[in-house]
Amino acid sequence: MHHEQSSYPRIEIGGRLTLESIEAVADGAPIVLSSAARKRVASAHAFVEERFRSGEPIYGVTTGFGRLANVPVEPDDTERLQLNLVRSHAAGTGPLLERRVVRAAGLLRVNALAAGHSGVHPRTLDLLVELLNRGVTPCVPSQGSVGASGDLAPLAHMTLTLVGEGEAWYRGERLSSSVALERAGLQPVRLGPKEGLALVNGTQVMTAVAALGVMRSQRLAASADVIGAMSLEAFLGSDRVFDRRINELRPHAGQARVAENLRAVLAGSEIVESHRECGRVQDPYSYRCIPVVHGAVRDAIEHTRSVVETEANSVTDNPLVFADDGVFLSGGNFHGEPVALVLDFLKLAIGELASISERRLYLLLNAEERDLPLFLTGRSGVQSGLMIVQYTAAALVNENKVLAWPASVDSIPTSAGQEDHVSMGMTAANVLPRVLDNVEGALACELLGALAATDFRRPLRSGGGTQAAYDVARREIAALGEDRSPAPDIERARSLIASGSLTNAAEKAVGIAL
């Protein structure tokens, strides 16, 4: 998005980024460097130039890279050294990353460089800022990073655009970077000492995927609470399991939050009250254990959020410049292990929302003992109703079981053994959006079941929150009569979940954030 068209407020870089601000920039918000950040960057750059002129051996500044760290490089070759680094490392392949991810990664790169420990020229940082503000988005292949010296290949592809090479998106067109820069009124930079290394070292790409994934996970968790409540209500499930006294005896934060959410959205339900004295003691686990399972997922999301926010505000290139102390320090901040582990954790955890959702749908479709017709059709036999919608949910859950396999348990040494343990965090990052898509799809299938089952409970009214969600959904998805293709209905249900419409309606009705 071009900054002149942005409806977002400008975000200042130089303090602490939140995941909300990362998502805002991914969606088009402009940024500006704080004056303090600009001073830090200028000071670090001056120190790099001073040491470079002294001829002191400095990794990646007056030497080669990786296994070539002990090979000296002549001062006259410094620009070629940095440019060759960027060109040679742009070895990615596979589908391009979404532009939102590349924008988020660009912001994280700006934020890391703005800390003043990387040594880039201020004009290089200014160009990175303007790429975001003018809507020039590098084309970045999604595969090629092993997540150890950070995301070398993806970041190198991003850096190519800065030097006028590679390709970039501008105003909906995929162009050569040189043309994209020219149309945006920008000039490419020439790389000075350490700049290529500073621009390709770091964990910003996997962290960008993680940041956007956490935000989406939070919305899916809220949607799961609403849809789970709708299903439980239509299933004639017991709301006693949401009693505060039960959940206070297992004081996990997520469990308490989910129990509170379901108490709120079901309050005032005539359907729940209609079977209060039915004598049924317990429901199957997929209903009875909603606070426990959904709550554990929420706690996993919160842990992931904490790690990702810390990483988003970290400096992860190498070597690091400490201008005030007059030293360069080589370390391993670029290793992606913290992010790799939580990416694996998140995709495993969020998949549980789909797993338990599919079980609730299965029970709704097979609840004749609870006065619901088989497959939720009034003409069973002639019609199949929602029979195959559960198959779809099962297929999505099965795919998540494959995708949940952790990438971070693997390590394949690189750089002739210099980089002998790697995180594989980008592999987990590339899989996460597919897992989130599958969770959204499974919840959409459950929503169709909850709506159809609720129709058989009328004229009794639902709870305040579940009724509001039902009303919003029924405006988009017609009641089930004659058999029809459920595929368009699944897509409409997905849209209600993805847009937040379903959750927003419930929140407005009950007056709390879910």
Of the candidates 233, 259, 257, the one whose C-alpha atom is nearest the C-alpha of residue 246 is: 259
Of the candidates 189, 188, 225, 191, the one whose C-alpha atom is nearest the C-alpha of residue 83 is: 191
In sequence order, the 6+-apart residues with CB closer than 8 A to the CB of 312 are 17, 19, 22, 108, 111, 207, 211
DSSP class of residue 68 equals G
Can you read off the two tokens belonging to residue 318?
């190498």
Helix (H, G, I), strand (E, B) or coil at 164: coil
Q: Give the integer Cα–Cα distance in Å for 248 and 411.
A: 42
Task: Answer yes or no: 59 catalytic.
Answer: yes
Question: Contact at 8 Å (CB) between 175 and 168?
Answer: yes
Give the torsion sign (CA, 217, 219, 225, 230): negative
Give the pairing of strands 167-170 and 136-138.
antiparallel
CB atoms within 10 A of CB 68: 14
| Residue whose structure tokens are 């969020």 | 350
Q: Give the integer Cα–Cα distance in Å for 24 and 8.
A: 7
Give the torsion sign (CA, 295, 205, 111, 13): negative
Q: Give the integer Cα–Cα distance in Å for 312 and 334.
A: 12
Can you read off the two tokens belonging to residue 69?
């760290």
CB atoms within 10 A of CB 59: 18
- The residue type at 187: Q
Give me the active site residues, please.
59
